[in-house]
Amino acid sequence: MSSVWCLFSHPKDVGITSAMSRTTFFEVKILDAKTKEQLCFLDKVEPYSTTGDIKILFHKLYPQWYPARQALKLDPKEKSLRDDEVLQNLPVGTSATFYFRDLGPQFGWTMVFLAECVGALLTYLLFYFRVPYIYSHRFISTSSPHPVVTLACACHSFHYGKRLIETIFVHRFSHGTMPLRTIIRNCAYYWGFSAWLAYYINHPLYTPPSYGDLQVHYALVLFAMCEIGNFSIHLTLNNLKGDGSRGRRFPVPTKNPFTWLFYFVSCPNYTYEVGSWVSFSIMTQCLPVALYTSLGFLQMTIWAKGKHRAYSREFKDYPANRTAIIPLVL
């Protein structure tokens, strides 16, 4: 409960603005949202500082609460303030009171995606190489006599390997972080299903597809096309974000034929993803894979519909013939 002198010098301070800004400084009080105990008092805060700046100051006093973990709000029951909100634009007088909530350990989205993909990839391999204690003793470290099993392993590994590469080199995440609970839940989902699928595909009693090589080869072609398609869309979306954030535009088809799906759907990346998993189901003729595909399809449809609604609302000239995820129907 001590008053803290906080001389906040902003790089933007230099120049004409410093003469004008000397007029009114803000006082900022930060209280705990639950106990209402005063955690910090900041004196002489520049009026055009943002929530993010205040979080940095708060972090200096409480090193364990880095800015990503902080949720600051004007009222304990309200939503958290965005990091780019400017202090003088908020409905407070020159003496502002914020309520603080600890969001718990936070992880960057890149970290999360990496954990999910690496886990899923390695888990599958454990089953492919028939590590001890999974199958019966006499099958330890043996390999399946069916070529489709090796092909399935290659495809599964390629899929998650591609996702890893994209996470590191392609995606640019707009949101900052994710709490620990969400990561545990997501990893459990990806690793768990990877294990469940891998168990059946690499099982000694695995039955290859009914239509043999024909089925496998067609499925492989479809799989490859969907993977390339998915990657093309990610590149396109990435280039979209690069063109200055204020001139927002919705994604459109480019010269790449795989992006022509944009003529029909808002989220072709999800369409291709579903396509990959459908082809993987056909390739392995494995019911658990089909079930996993259905779950993924359900989740991605929800996301696609949300995105589609957001696009339609934001852009008045948004193409009317586009559906969310499946051309013409969904």
Partner 1 sequence: MSAAAPGTSKTGHSDVVQKKKKGPGALATAYLVIYNVVMTAGWLVIAVGLVRAYLARGSYHGLYYSIEKPLKFFQTGALLEILHCAVGIVPSSVVLTGFQVMSRVFLTWAVTHSVREVQSEDSVLLFVTAWTVTEIIRYSFYTFSLLNHLPYLIKWARYTFFFALYPMGVTGELLTIYAALPFVQKTGLYSITLPNKYNFSFDYYTFLILTMISYIPLFPQLYFHMIRQRKKVLGHVDDYSKVE
Binding site for partner 1 (CB under 8 A): 200-201, 203, 205-207, 210, 284-288
Which of residues 42 and 149 has its CB atom nearest to partner 1 in the complex? 149
Cα angle 170-197-294, degrees, rounded to a multiple of 5: 70
Which of residues 90 and 134 has its CB atom nearest to partner 1 in the complex? 134
Under 8 Å between Cβ of 46 and 10 = yes
Question: Least distance from C-beta 308 to partner 1, angstroms?
Answer: 24
Tell me how far apart the alpha carbons of residues 85 and 52 are, in angstroms, rounded to a whole number.
Answer: 8
Question: Least distance from C-beta 149 to partner 1, angstroms?
Answer: 11
Which of residues 205 and 298 has its CB atom nearest to partner 1 in the complex? 205
- Packing angle, helices 268-284 and 212-242, rounded to 10: 160
Phi, psi of 100 (to 5 degrees): -110, 135
Which of residues 118 and 153 has its CB atom nearest to partner 1 in the complex? 153
Which of residues 204 and 306 has its CB atom nearest to partner 1 in the complex? 204
Which of residues 149 and 324 has its CB atom nearest to partner 1 in the complex? 149
Residue type, 19: A
* Residue 50 DSSP code: B
Which of residues 211 and 315 has its CB atom nearest to partner 1 in the complex? 211
Tell me how far apart the alpha carbons of residues 329 and 264 are, in angstroms, rounded to a whole number.
Answer: 10
Question: Least distance from C-beta 76 to partner 1, angstroms?
Answer: 21
Which of residues 18 and 299 has its CB atom nearest to partner 1 in the complex? 299
| Residue 320 three-state SS | coil
Residue type, 306: G
Question: Least distance from C-beta 210 to partner 1, angstroms?
Answer: 6
Question: Least distance from C-beta 220 to partner 1, angstroms?
Answer: 18
Question: Least distance from C-beta 323 to partner 1, angstroms?
Answer: 24
Question: Least distance from C-beta 330 to partner 1, angstroms?
Answer: 20
Question: Least distance from C-beta 207 to partner 1, angstroms?
Answer: 5
Tokens matching residue 209:
């597809």
Under 8 Å between Cβ of 253 and 322 = no
Number of residues written out for the chain: 330
Which of 205, 201, 181, 183 lies closest to 193 in space, CA to CA? 201
Tokens matching residue 133:
């204690």
114: CB partners within 8 A, 6+ apart: 164, 167, 168
Taking each continuous run of H as one helix and of E as one strand, the counts in the chain are 8, 6
